[in-house]
């Protein structure tokens, strides 16, 4: 995906009660992400990451989240290198299939993560 395609162009404003804002702030801090990233993850993963976690400790969740981040970084590096090779050698069609497969695998992993951490 081109960097220009990744720039977020849409902005929304929401109004929260003080309690709601505090909850959002606390949850974002708990996951060590920004409030915007927390809300985006709720949208992308198709649900609210509430307090109904299964029997995982905060440390276990942190380890899983760290591993997912590492996997995402590795996928980005692989994709970048493949893109470089494609541009140099003109292998467009095969590259698109590889990227699609990587994306599907990562989405499957994210769904698994959600299902096993949250009910």
- 109 plus 57 within the same structural domain: yes
47 and 57 together in one domain: no
**Cα 119 → chain centroid:** 18
User: How far does CA 34 lie from the centroid of its chain?
Assistant: 13
CA–CA dist 34, 119 (Å, integer):
23
Consecutive H or E run containing 65: helix 58-89
Three-class secondary structure of residue 77 per DSSP: helix
Q: Which two tokens stand for residue 61?
A: 């969740």
> Per-residue pLDDT averaged across 102-118, rounded?
73
What pLDDT, on a 0 to 100 scale, did the predictor assign at position 104?
79
Q: How many CB atoms lie within 10 A of CB 72?
A: 13
Determine the Cα–Cα distance for residues 87 and 109; give it in Å rounded to an integer: 29
Share of the chain above pLDDT 90, in %: 8
Residues 66-90, mean pLDDT to the nearest whole number: 78
Residue 1 lies in a domain: no
Let me know if residue 3 belongs to a domain. Answer: no
Q: What is the percent of the chain where pLDDT is above 70? A: 72
Q: Are 74 and 86 in a shared domain?
A: yes
* 4 part of a folded domain: no
């Amino acid at each position: 995906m081109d960097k220009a395609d990744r720039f977020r162009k849409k902005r929304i404003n929401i109004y929260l009660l003080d309690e709601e804002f505090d909850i959002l702030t606390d949850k974002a801090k708990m996951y060590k992400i920004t409030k915007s990233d927390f809300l985006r993850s709720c949208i992308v993963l198709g649900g609210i990451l509430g307090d109904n976690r299964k029997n995982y400790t905060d440390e276990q969740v942190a380890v899983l989240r760290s591993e997912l981040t590492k996997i995402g970084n590795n996928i980005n590096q692989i994709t970048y290198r493949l893109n470089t090779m494609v541009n140099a050698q003109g292998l467009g069609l095969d590259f698109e299939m590889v990227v699609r497969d990587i994306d599907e695998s990562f989405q499957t992993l994210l769904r698994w993560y959600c299902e096993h951490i949250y009910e």
